[in-house]
Amino acid sequence: MTTDTPMQLGMVGLGRMGANLVRRLMRDGHRCVVYDIDQAAVRKLAGEGATGANSLNRLVDELDRPRAVWLMLPAAVVDPTLDDLVPLLDPDDVVIDGGNSFYQDDIARSKRLAEAGIHYVDCGTSGGVWGLERGYCLMIGGDDAAVARLDPIFRSIAPGSGRAEPTPSRTRNGTAAEGYLHCGPSGAGHFVKMVHNGVEYGMMGAIAEGLSIIRHADVGKRAHAADAETAPLRTPEAYQYEIDVAEVAEVWRRGSVVQSWLVDLVADALARSPGLEAFEGRVSDSGEGRWTVDAAIDEGVPAPVITSALMERFESRGLGHFTDAALSAMRSEFGGHAEKRA
Amino acid sequence: MTTDTPMQLGMVGLGRMGANLVRRLMRDGHRCVVYDIDQAAVRKLAGEGATGANSLNRLVDELDRPRAVWLMLPAAVVDPTLDDLVPLLDPDDVVIDGGNSFYQDDIARSKRLAEAGIHYVDCGTSGGVWGLERGYCLMIGGDDAAVARLDPIFRSIAPGSGRAEPTPSRTRNGTAAEGYLHCGPSGAGHFVKMVHNGVEYGMMGAIAEGLSIIRHADVGKRAHAADAETAPLRTPEAYQYEIDVAEVAEVWRRGSVVQSWLVDLVADALARSPGLEAFEGRVSDSGEGRWTVDAAIDEGVPAPVITSALMERFESRGLGHFTDAALSAMRSEFGGHAEKRA
Amino acid sequence: MTTDTPMQLGMVGLGRMGANLVRRLMRDGHRCVVYDIDQAAVRKLAGEGATGANSLNRLVDELDRPRAVWLMLPAAVVDPTLDDLVPLLDPDDVVIDGGNSFYQDDIARSKRLAEAGIHYVDCGTSGGVWGLERGYCLMIGGDDAAVARLDPIFRSIAPGSGRAEPTPSRTRNGTAAEGYLHCGPSGAGHFVKMVHNGVEYGMMGAIAEGLSIIRHADVGKRAHAADAETAPLRTPEAYQYEIDVAEVAEVWRRGSVVQSWLVDLVADALARSPGLEAFEGRVSDSGEGRWTVDAAIDEGVPAPVITSALMERFESRGLGHFTDAALSAMRSEFGGHAEKRA
Amino acid sequence: MTTDTPMQLGMVGLGRMGANLVRRLMRDGHRCVVYDIDQAAVRKLAGEGATGANSLNRLVDELDRPRAVWLMLPAAVVDPTLDDLVPLLDPDDVVIDGGNSFYQDDIARSKRLAEAGIHYVDCGTSGGVWGLERGYCLMIGGDDAAVARLDPIFRSIAPGSGRAEPTPSRTRNGTAAEGYLHCGPSGAGHFVKMVHNGVEYGMMGAIAEGLSIIRHADVGKRAHAADAETAPLRTPEAYQYEIDVAEVAEVWRRGSVVQSWLVDLVADALARSPGLEAFEGRVSDSGEGRWTVDAAIDEGVPAPVITSALMERFESRGLGHFTDAALSAMRSEFGGHAEKRA
């Protein structure tokens, strides 16, 4: 599978995502010039066929004009990198931010780069560590001309239409069925990717809660304290099940309504370790879920499911401690209730 | 303040609530016969003027017919006590369950006692450790005749209308303004008390969360990890406040919209200990919150606030651990994300 | 694809689900005897190769012992049908309830049927109108012998392992990879199916909220009332997007983390009608979501995501009206705020 | 009750809140100079003893230096008013913003005014239409000197310590017990007021939901559709109550744990109209609830109760319509479910 229209792309940032994007592009015949502050990462990809660069300067020099430079960097590093990179570029060059930037930063950056005649394209990139093989779902924002010019790049990175059966009622053409979409002007790509991650939080929360309810279906077998601080279980006879959670996840993978990649993944994790003992249960959140809720609130759109999933992550990290202490304090005040220790 | 119509009441269960109810009744001139399995508790109240009984039998014998016997017991002990008590009673006697029984149990019990011609009255009793002084808010269910007969008892236990200014638009008579209310047939009292506690959960959750948000208004002063697992704080300059949470609770006690007894109580707890260090933050729930949500779901009434408060208590006790581990497992699977340890 | 071990099955209830189960079984060489109170439905399937029965009596007579009779009926009709059916059966026969019964009813029924020596198997059946083609995901409860005997039936109904790639870390054998699972004793099948539907609610809620947030990304273009009753939009310039929601759903179908059958389905619905004008937005709930939350509460497992999805459905049907009126009433009382009409 | 230290205050904005603040100040012997674009409002207060001004210019001229000018204006009008007012002021004058400004705006404004040597004090003012009589709870931010100078003003506006019993454990001095508090530097006052309103949302939501659950305790009396789209009510016999919601609110006013001003208010509204027929149930939100949730998210503090209350208000205004339509669309796709119309 080699593209008809090979292009050149500079890639800045050769972490797991950046390196795999380069590999996927090279498989399709594109020429990649690569840079990272870690020169070992550069040498590794150079060994696989990329053109290594030991500076941003060299990376820019190696590319024909109009250039396309893809940044695959932690969000906090994008602006400093742009400060270094933009002076090296020429009018009509394109910079693509493929990381997880906040979409409102894209709006500001695209204005800044436009003053130098440089295009800025924001590209939300989903697919995680599996993207090399499955392809990456791309949600793109920016001006039409720049996005159109990069089409062969996006097409090579995306999964392609063969990755899923066609949507029966779809009559339109357009690249969405290939797994990449120009969503709108600057920021629109990261906006859609941000919401994608919010949806991901909610779906993950639903799956994880469901598995937890199944795992605790044996609660009737366990002794309950019979004191005024403990809610009685009225029907212990209804909670006598010891259900194999790993096999439940496996069975949901085929034919069920909840069939999804996330169920595939949790089934794999549970197949390795049905009790998930390796995990403390401190669930990180890296920004997109927060911003999704902020957007929902700005828009006045109720999003209780996504919001609950975000709050659940905060709770998992113990961030509600003072709230909980205040609740115990009030119970102590009005009822003389002492906390039950673990 | 001595009632015009002194009555006799048997009290079974002399814990903090039961003993204080007896004291409040005796202050008002009622005669109380008291029993507890702990004879020291009986002797203590006998020393304060009550008639002590060393058995249920004696308690029943000491009361003139038609009798009124009030149970102030843990919910789990009510049915065994009724098994012992009911055979000792006569037709037209009344049993009052003043504890926190599940209202559907009241429906069954009232039917059972009715077969022996005995009235069963369910009485939700709110007021906690402060009721002796403030009076208790009573929510009552049962048949009209029995409830009417007990009116002097309820009136003495309740706070009385002087405890709050009159509701300006209220034109009706009725005992609600005295702090007690016959809510309906059997179970209606505990139903209203159950929902009262659900409301209490929600109000407590709101207050505790608000204080926590204020306490953490200094988050911009603390260093944040700058990695892909940590959501960046975009405006640290807006979170530079070190606000005195105890004084905030104090100021809200007068003139604010959130003025409430719960704010009074949390202000007192914070006055003693602004950091609430004595509390682990493991918040018990004793049934009524769960049942309130069950009722909301049965009725199809959305109750997201009360439900969130219940779930927050579950989280405070670490009951979401497997859910959280499953979330971390999924993140590890799709993104290679490792958990950040505490 | 014809099974090696053809069996006989009686099917009671020939609605969409029941009829398609029969078709899927016949394709695999099983003999089906079918009954429905609607004789036209019987005749239709008889025309496709099934043996029609005009009464439960005839259906039972047509089957060799030990018999297997599958009920595919609305939950409310199961018990009356069992009342008619059980006296016609013989010891060691099996009845399968493939509908959406409450799992605690299964526990009671299995005890009742066991008194007559009859096995009762509960089988949660997921797959909807697509099951004929995709196969049905089966979650099964009941005693080992009965479930084992029915294995060829379950295998033919289930999707089969080819419907998804193998779970990489899975080393066990077992039928889960075929799309059916014996989850435990009576009720375990419907318990897992109930939670499956709870998960489904949560996933659906997350997807729908996300699409809604994207659809309203143009909120900055619309005029906002500038009065004290309306929250100001502080950054209208950040909400100027008109994003094609249908194409977003399409692009998420390949390579994204939210890839799932539910996204496939909503993409199809949006391809037909991007504004979903055909829908009023009154979202039904048919019991399993409620029971899932009840179970979470009984177990003390926090399930805020699934619960929020349930409450969101209640809100969609206007069931929060009195709550909302009370909120407006309070705002009117303390602030003189008048409601803003639509 | 006349203050020992009468001061002068300019009041800009004579709506309900501004006018009553002036009245409360004049009762206490302070001299008020008042301005509003509505000259009728100015004349009215002049008739009650204030000094009327027909322009900002005149208002400034009428005040001795160092001046104190209180703005009681819609948030959107504050900045334009400052543009007009600040050039008229002199170094060491103070401007107080007593409205509902976003606290981050305060930070910016205080910097701007500091450049001209003018102090800016933000003052969250709670008390609604009842403040003239009850006093207003004041949450104040700004530099120490300016806040200290205004102490007699704040003291007169606040309720005073007599409005509630002392907090038993409180040993500190300080103004919080009088109902006003200097919370911290610029923005701290509106930050605390913002969170106060978030708490108010949560408390209101809990109360309203509870009353709604009580109102619908008769759901077992109503016929239920017995179809696959309707969740069955398993225990109709437990929902046969017709409870007088107005009287429940009244009884909660004395002795209960939920005793609060909000319960007082809803009791009054229900006393006038037990069915609240005058309300459509479209509940406004005016910003502070949104900002509270934004702050919780920025801080990483879980606030599920307050957040649910905010989302509930969005739902009350029908803002979840597209979400709901998408849910119905998915149900139609996988299960052929048709919406049940109202």
The three state secondary structure string of B110-166 is HHHHHCCCCEEEEEEEECHHHHHHHCCEEEEECCHHHHHHCHHHHHHHCCCHHHCCC
Read off the pLDDT of each residue in D71-81 and give the average, rounded to a whole number.
94
- What is the number of helices (H) and of strands (E) in chain C? 14, 8
A chain contacts of residue B337, beta-carbon cutoff 8 Å: 284
Could you give the CA distance from residue B35 to residue B85 in angstroms, rounded to a whole number? 12
* Distances, alpha carbon A192 to alpha carbons A275, B188, C152, in Å: 35, 50, 46
Chain A contact for B116 (CB, 8 A cutoff): no
Could you give the CA distance from residue B115 to residue A185 in angstroms, rounded to a whole number? 76
Read off the pLDDT of each residue in A170-189 and give the average, rounded to a whole number.
97
Q: What Rg, from alpha-carbon coordinates, does chain B have? A: 25
What pLDDT, on the 0 to 100 scale, is given for residue C1?
A: 53
Chain C contact for A303 (CB, 8 A cutoff): yes
Residue of A103, A125, A233, A328 for testing the chain B interface, max B β-carbons within 10 Å: A328
What pLDDT, on the 0 to 100 scale, is given for residue B1?
A: 53
Asked if the model's pLDDT at residue D228 lies above 80, the reply is: no
Chain D contact for B102 (CB, 8 A cutoff): no
Read off the pLDDT of each residue in A191-215 and give the average, rounded to a whole number.
98
Read off the pLDDT of each residue in D51-73 and give the average, rounded to a whole number.
98
Residue A162 has a CB neighbour count (10 Å cut-off) of: 12
Read off the pLDDT of each residue in D175-196 and give the average, rounded to a whole number.
98
What pLDDT, on the 0 to 100 scale, is given for residue A342?
A: 72
Residue of B147, B167, B175, B194 for testing the chain D interface, max D β-carbons within 10 Å: B167
- What is the number of helices (H) and of strands (E) in chain A? 14, 8
Q: Mean pLDDT check: name the lowest of C46-55, C60-69, C126-135, C157-166.
A: C126-135
ipTM of the complex as predicted: 0.97
A chain contacts of residue D317, beta-carbon cutoff 8 Å: 300
Chain D contact for B108 (CB, 8 A cutoff): no
What pLDDT, on the 0 to 100 scale, is given for residue D243?
A: 98
Asked if the model's pLDDT at residue C50 lies above 90, the reply is: yes
Partners of D285 in beta bridges: C230
Chains that touch A (3 or more CB pairs under 8 A): B, C, D
Helices B304-316 and A304-316: angle between axes, nearest 10 degrees: 20
Which two three-digit tokens encode residue A183?
A: 């969503």
Which residue of chain B is at minimal alpha-carbon distance from D103? Answer: B238
Distance from CA of B60 to the nearest CA of D (A): 30
A chain contacts of residue D310, beta-carbon cutoff 8 Å: 297
Those residues with Cβ within 8 angstroms of residue C289's Cβ, 6 or more apart along the chain or in another chain: C197, C198, C201, C306, C309, C310, C313, D231
In this complex, how many residue pairs, one in chain A and one in chain D, have their CB atoms less than 8 Å apart? Answer: 57
Q: Is residue B221 annotated as part of the catalytic site, yes or no?
A: no
Chain C contact for A177 (CB, 8 A cutoff): yes
Asked if the model's pLDDT at residue C336 lies above 90, the reply is: no
**Residue B339 CA from chain centroid, whole number:** 39
What pLDDT, on the 0 to 100 scale, is given for residue C143?
A: 97
Report how far apart the first and last C-alpha atoms of chain B are (Å, whole number). 59
Active site residues of C: 193, 200
Active site residues of A: 193, 200
Contact D327, C205 (CB under 8 A): yes
pLDDT tens for each residue of C282-302? 999 989 999 999 999 999 999
What pLDDT, on the 0 to 100 scale, is given for residue C3?
A: 74
Instruction: Characterize B31-50 residue by residue with b for buried, 16 or more Cβ atoms within 10 angstroms of its Cβ, and e for exposed.
Output: bbbbbbeeeebbebbbeeeb
Which two three-digit tokens encode residue B138?
A: 């009573």
Strands A8-12 and C51-52: unpaired
Instruction: Supply the pTM of this predicted model.
Output: 0.97
What pLDDT, on the 0 to 100 scale, is given for residue C2?
A: 67
Q: What is the DSSP string of D156-225?
A: HHS--GGGSPPPTT----SGGGGTEEEEESTTHHHHHHHHHHHHHHHHHHHHHHHHHHHHTTTGGGS---
Contact A296, A302 (CB under 8 A): yes
pLDDT tens for each residue of A240-272? 999 999 999 999 999 999 999 999 999 999 999
Distance from CA of B196 to the nearest CA of A (A): 14
D chain contacts of residue C304, beta-carbon cutoff 8 Å: 304
What pLDDT, on the 0 to 100 scale, is given for residue C223?
A: 76
pLDDT tens for each residue of D270-280? 999 999 999 99
D chain contacts of residue A310, beta-carbon cutoff 8 Å: 297
What pLDDT, on the 0 to 100 scale, is given for residue A196?
A: 98
Which two three-digit tokens encode residue D220?
A: 């077992």
pLDDT tens for each residue of A303-322? 999 999 999 999 999 999 99
C319 to B308: CB separation less than 8 angstroms, yes or no: no
A chain contacts of residue C235, beta-carbon cutoff 8 Å: 104, 298
Which residue of chain D is at minimal alpha-carbon distance from A308? Answer: D304
pLDDT tens digit at each of 342 positions of chain B: 567 789 999 999 999 999 999 999 999 999 999 999 999 999 999 999 999 999 999 999 999 999 999 999 998 899 999 999 999 999 999 999 999 999 999 999 999 999 999 999 999 999 988 899 999 999 999 999 999 999 999 999 999 999 999 999 999 999 999 999 999 999 999 999 999 999 999 999 999 999 999 999 999 998 777 777 888 899 999 999 999 999 999 999 999 999 999 999 999 999 999 999 999 999 999 899 999 999 999 999 999 999 999 999 999 999 999 999 999 999 999 988 889 877
Could you give the CA distance from residue B289 to residue A340 in angstroms, rounded to a whole number? 17
Chain C contact for A181 (CB, 8 A cutoff): yes
A320 to D334: CB separation less than 8 angstroms, yes or no: no
D204 to C102: CB separation less than 8 angstroms, yes or no: no
Read off the pLDDT of each residue in D39-55 and give the average, rounded to a whole number.
98
D159 to B200: CB separation less than 8 angstroms, yes or no: no
Could you give the CA distance from residue B306 to residue B204 in angstroms, rounded to a whole number? 10
Which two three-digit tokens encode residue C282?
A: 């009154």
Chain C contact for D251 (CB, 8 A cutoff): no
Asked if the model's pLDDT at residue D294 lies above 80, the reply is: yes
Q: Which of D136, D195, D309 is closest, CB to CB, to B214?
A: D195
**Which A residues in the span 183-242 are in contact with C, Cβ-Cβ below 8 Å?**
183-185, 187-188, 191-192, 195-203, 205-207, 209-210, 212-214, 216-217, 219, 231, 233-235, 237-242
Mean pLDDT estimate for chain D: 96
B chain contacts of residue A212, beta-carbon cutoff 8 Å: 320, 322-323, 326
Read off the pLDDT of each residue in D54-76 and give the average, rounded to a whole number.
96
Could you give the CA distance from residue A48 to residue A42 in angstroms, rounded to a whole number? 10
